[in-house]
Structure formats: structure tokens, C-alpha cells
Copies of this chain bind each other. A is one copy, B any other.
Amino acid sequence: MTESRFSGETTEPARPPKRAARTKSTRDGGDKRERILRAATRVFAKKGFYATRVSEVAKAAGVADGTIYLYFKSKDDLLVSLFEDRVVLLLATLERELGKRPSPRERLRAIIELQLGLLEGERDLAEVITVNLRQSTRLMKQYAAPKFLLYLETIARVVSEGQKSGVFRDDVSPHVVARAIFGALDGLTMTWALGKADPGGLSRAATQIADVLLTGLETGLGTGLESAR
């Protein structure tokens, strides 16, 4: 890593060998960049980023060591790209789904269930995100943090709206709550990924956590369960 540059970004992010190769490649099946990313996710999850040799990723992807450098600037770029390609997409999906839910209550539940649901099928990715991405403080601050912040903002906004409309208690900071929720989901995912990762476990957890959090957050208005107004 040497984690030093990441500022000027002189050279272009990578360079997909000309056009072509994009989705079909010339001779082999599936495009290479994708194969490499998938292999990297697998290997990073198993051995950790720093302990993984570029040559191991190459072997796992079935390409030559040098090929990786045709698609990625460096080993770091591999990790960063992984994050960008997957997580950003994942967060986008989540954000899009949010649009469909009308009430803050449903929105919050959706956030919880979607985040956990999406990662449930991607154990390796889950591990890379919850563990390996934390590898470098700098990487974290440069790339991950901003994206996470954005996500935190989304949660905080939902909470805040709920407070404004009176369905959520307003004696807590939306920001603090957002961080806690994010952390809870993150922790749940991490222990799940590092542990047995039993199928369905995350989704089941999602429901429970959503129940507890919502109960803790709701003022009781509009639940159909309130005693007085």
C-alpha cells in the first residue's frame, strides 16, 4: 500500500484495455475486470487485504499477474474499485428503494431490511466491507468515509423527518441515532460474516432489530397502538 498518494490522482483510475472486452471479451467467457474483482473479493475475504499477494488474486481469477495491472492501477486500486463498484451500487439501490416507502417508519424499516438483505447473499463482500476495508486509515478516510457519511446522512434524514412529523421522539439527535443504527447493522453483518453466516440469519435479525429500534424511536402516534392521542 504505502498508502501515500490518493490525492493528485495523476494517472487515470485504471484503463480497461481499449473498449471491447467490456462484457464479452475476445476469447474467454466473461469480462476480465469482473473476474478479477470477484476473485479479489473472495481472496481478500479469506486472507485479508495485506496478507493477500497480487499473484494470489491473479491465480484465483485465472489470469496472469500482469493482467491485473491492465485493469487496475495498483493493489490498492483493486480494493478501492471493489468498494466503488459494489457498495456504491448497493447504496444506490437502497436509496432508490427508499423513494417507494412513504412513512418514516417504513423507510427506517426498509433501510434496515435492505442493507442486511442485500449483504446476505454476498458473504465475502460483506466481510470485505466490514473488516478489510478498514485496513487503511487513509483509505478509510479518503474513500470509504465519504460514502459512509452520505449513507449516514440518509438515515439521519429519515429519522429527522420522522421527528418533524411527530412519529419519532425528538429528544435524541438524528445523527447519533443514525450512527448507532449504522453501527448496529455493520456489527450484525460483521459477526455474521466472521461467524457461521447461517442462511437467513441476517434477514431474521433485521426484523428483530427493526422492531426494537422502531419501538424505541416511536412516540406512539399513528401506530394504532397508542392509548391516548
Binding site for B on A (CB under 8 A): 1-4, 45-48, 50-51, 127, 130-132, 134-138, 140-141, 145, 152, 169, 171-173, 176-177, 179-188, 190-191, 194, 204-205, 208-209, 211-217, 227-228
Contacts and interface: CB of A to CB of B under 8 A. Distances in A.
Contact of A208 (B136, B173, B209, B215): B173
Contacts of A228: 227
B188 A185 contact: no
Nearest to A131: B134
Interface of A is mostly: helix
Contacts of A183: 183-188, 190-191
Nearest to A206: B176
Contacts of A127: 137
Contacts of A214: 216
